[in-house]
Amino acid sequence: MRDTDDQVPCEGSAGPERQGFWRRIRIPVAAAAALISVVGIMVAVFGLTQFNQRETVTGVIIIAVSTAIYITILARDRPPRK
């Protein structure tokens, strides 16, 4: 079994500078995605109360996009399987 320190990274893997950048911005991006999802919920509920289909669909799209961003952050942050 090989130690993880002596493994050569794959050709397409990100360098240490890029990994450090991602680690610094992932928390603010996750927070922004959560807040944007809340805004999407507010837009959808407001559209429902006004019987406005366009606002409701806009709110649902905002929720879907922000959820996709949040899931991408979670999937990218997982440690590799052994």
Please tell me which residue, 77 or 51, carries the higher pLDDT value: 51
- Given a cut of 90, whether residue 78 has pLDDT beyond it is no
List the helix and strand counts (H, then E) for the chain: 2, 0
- Given a cut of 80, whether residue 28 has pLDDT beyond it is yes
Q: How much is the mean pLDDT over the chain?
A: 81
- Domain ranges for the chain, please list them: 25-77
| pLDDT per position as a tens digit, 34-53 | 999 999 999 999 999 999 99
Render the burial of 35-59: b for 16+ CB within 10 Å, e for the rest.
ebbeebeebbeebeeeeeeebbeeb
- Given a cut of 80, whether residue 16 has pLDDT beyond it is no
Structure tokens belonging to residue 8:
């050569």
What's the pLDDT at 23? 79
